[in-house]
């Protein structure tokens, strides 16, 4: 049996990215006893990975506030089970199982990149855009390497700027959206001075790098690793020799935990009210799970959720006004970078869609739904639990991803055995027994 450790909080925050840090800080500031759980080795989430140690960064400022307010931070812990009726979550760490009790819960689980399959996308050195950036932050040498950044969304620009600053030769940025869509989006930045300032900074950082609209990768080629890629640009294909392809088609909200807890979803995002509370009483949600909106909106929603969870909703008036403006930007963002239907034709019959279980596009195309494909091909049943192939098949085949079942991550059997109590219905989900 794994050792079981117990914690008890007024407010528990799951996720230590910008929304989670803002939520935890805001709740603690008004007197709540707050805990934060995150599966990464340090706070900051994907967007602030490696930034906390920089003294002048926003990430460092929020982390310092968290520490000064006495918030307990538990890193390297994944939620593996729950009894939401009893207000308890179970988290697995490397050495122990945590039983964490709470009065209010805030989900700030962030988002991940959407990856779309195309021939050759499984070659070594074809990577998610944010994934390559994270590896460089962790020490991967990139200086002198030829990189093409492709896909969709503002993340491509940030990744390209980061890689160039660390010595990479960024050959091109390929954005699938049209020039007209981007021009319309850019004009809207005039009403968001902070966003406009960020865009101008990025423009200077990327000066000289070709930026191609109506462009996307159609094939990656190489013997043992990536050697070159074929890009479709305005309907014409061209071949580019490169060392890395950093590719991501915008973001997908991480809503699995919220769904498992019974929170209602709407349009693939967690539905919340004016105080960021979900359909489950006492459970709040902030940041990208409620809709992809960027850093500013995540911080605002986190603050609202933290204050509301601590029972101080009368202090939210100004924040609600700022949230409305940030949500307007998020809607323009979604419209500008909407994926074009041509991307559905990228995979050929032999293209692997589910990398965990080696399931090809041709095998999936025989089925009518996610559930049917999962039952017949094991698509989505590997270690990633459908986090990669799920959004891909949803886009390619218009499939509903269906229900979420525990555990959300590969989990030690001894951790499940150490759960001190499991309701009968939940026990059947874990063991496969029928009621």
Beta bridge partners of 232: 216, 237
Give the number of residues written for the chain: 435
Which parts of 76-149 fold into alpha helices (H)? 129-137
Q: Cα(362)–Cα(110) distance, rounded to whole angstroms? A: 32
Residue bearing tokens 């979550």: 89
Would you identify the CATH topology of the domain 3-112+252-315? Answer: FAD/NAD(P)-binding domain (3.50.50)
What is the phi/psi pair of residue 201, to 5°?
A: -65, -45
Q: How many CB atoms sit inside 10 A of residue 241's CB?
A: 12
Coil vs helix vs strand at 165: helix
Q: What pLDDT shows up at residue 337?
A: 95
Look at strands 244-249 and 126-127 and give their pairing. Answer: parallel
User: What is the sign of the dihedral through the CA atoms of 209, 212, 213 and 215?
Assistant: negative
Walk along the chain (435 residues) in steps of 10 and give the mean pLDDT of each run: 83 96 96 95 82 72 91 94 93 91 97 96 97 93 98 95 97 97 88 84 94 98 97 96 97 95 95 97 97 93 96 85 90 93 96 96 95 94 90 94 80 79 46 41
Cα dihedral 41, 47, 48, 51 sign: positive
DSSP-assigned letters across all residues of 302-329: HHHHHHHHTT-GGG-HHHHHHHHHHHHH
Q: Do 3-112+252-315 and 115-249 come out as alike in CATH topology?
A: yes
- Tokens representing 424 are 């009968």
**Which secondary structure element, helix H or strand E, spans residue 181, and what is its range?**
helix 179-187
Q: What confidence score (pLDDT) does residue 401 get?
A: 81
The number of angstroms, rounded, from the C-alpha of 364 to the middle of its chain's C-alpha atoms is 25
Q: Quick count: other Cβ atoms within 10 Å of Cβ 13?
A: 35
Model pTM score: 0.91
Closest residue by Cα to residue 348 from 108, 185, 78, 119: 119
Give me the DSSP letters along 352-379.
EEETTTTEEHHHHHT-SSHHHHHHHH-T
Reply yes or no on domain 115-249 having CATH 3.30.450.40.
Answer: no
Residue 2 tokens, joined: 């794994």
Q: In 3D, which of 398, 110, 84 has the Cα closest to residue 269? A: 110
Contacts 24+ apart (CB under 8 A), 226-231: 226/120, 226/123, 226/124, 226/125, 226/126, 229/120, 229/148, 229/150, 231/148, 231/150, 231/172, 231/174
Q: Comparing C-alpha atoms, which of 281, 227, 418, 290 is closest to residue 15?
A: 290
Which contacts (CB < 8 Å, 24+ apart) does range 264-269 have? 267/291
CA-based torsion, 153, 158, 299, 43: positive or negative: positive
Q: How much is the pLDDT for 422?
A: 45
Spell out a b/e string for 61-87, using b for 16 or more CB atoms within 10 Å of the CB, else e.
Answer: ebbebbeebebebbeebbbbbbbbeeb
Residue-wise DSSP of 41-93 = SSSSTTTTTTTTTSTTSHHHHHHHHHHHTT-EEEES-EEEEEEGGGTEEEEE-
The gap from C-alpha 270 to its chain's centroid, in whole angstroms, comes to: 13
What is the H or E stretch that residue 426 is in?
Answer: helix 424-431
Give the residue extent of every domain in the chain: 3-112+252-315, 115-249, 347-397
């Amino acid at each position: 049996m794994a050792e079981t450790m117990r914690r008890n909080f007024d407010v528990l925050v799951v996720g230590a990215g910008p929304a989670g840090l803002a939520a935890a800080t805001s709740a603690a500031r008004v007197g709540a006893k707050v805990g934060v759980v995150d599966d990464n080795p340090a706070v900051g989430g994907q967007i602030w990975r490696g930034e906390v140690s920089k003294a002048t960064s926003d990430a460092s400022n929020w982390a310092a506030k968290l520490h000064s307010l006495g918030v307990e931070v538990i890193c390297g812990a994944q939620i593996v089970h729950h009894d939401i009726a009893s207000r308890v979550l179970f988290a697995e760490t490397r050495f122990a199982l945590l039983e964490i009790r709470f009065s209010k819960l805030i989900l700030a689980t962030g988002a991940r990149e959407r990856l779309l399959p195309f021939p050759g996308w499984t070659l070594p050195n074809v990577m998610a855009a944010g994934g390559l950036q994270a590896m460089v932050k962790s020490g991967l040498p990139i200086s002198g390497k030829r990189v093409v950044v492709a896909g969709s969304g503002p993340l491509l620009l940030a990744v390209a700027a980061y890689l160039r600053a660390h010595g990479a030769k960024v050959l091109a940025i390929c954005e699938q959206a049209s020039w007209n869509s981007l021009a319309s989006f850019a004009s809207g930045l005039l009403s968001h001075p902070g966003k406009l300032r960020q865009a101008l900074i990025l423009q200077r950082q990327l000066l000289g790098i070709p930026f191609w609209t109506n462009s996307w990768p159609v094939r990656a080629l190489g013997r043992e690793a990536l050697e070159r890629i074929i890009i479709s640009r305005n309907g014409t294909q061209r071949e580019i020799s490169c060392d890395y392809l950093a590719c991501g088609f915008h973001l997908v909200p991480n809503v699995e935990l919220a769904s498992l807890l019974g929170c209602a979803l709407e349009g693939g995002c967690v539905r919340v009210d004016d105080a960021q509370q979900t359909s489950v009483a006492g459970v709040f949600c902030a940041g990208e799970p409620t809709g992809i909106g960027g850093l500013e909106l995540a911080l605002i929603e986190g603050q609202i959720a933290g204050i509301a969870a601590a029972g101080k909703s009368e202090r939210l008036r100004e924040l609600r006004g700022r949230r409305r403006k940030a949500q307007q930007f998020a809607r323009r963002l979604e419209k500008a970078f909407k994926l074009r239907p041509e991307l559905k034709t990228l995979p050929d019959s032999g293209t692997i869609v589910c990398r965990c279980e080696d399931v090809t596009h041709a095998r999936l195309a025989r089925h009518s739904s996610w559930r049917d494909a999962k039952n017949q091909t094991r698509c989505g049943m590997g270690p990633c639990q459908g986090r990669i192939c799920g959004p891909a098949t949803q886009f390619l085949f218009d499939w509903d991803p269906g229900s979420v079942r525990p555990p959300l991550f590969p989990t030690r059997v001894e951790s499940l055995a150490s759960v001190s109590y499991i309701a009968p219905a939940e026990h059947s989900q874990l063991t496969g027994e029928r009621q």
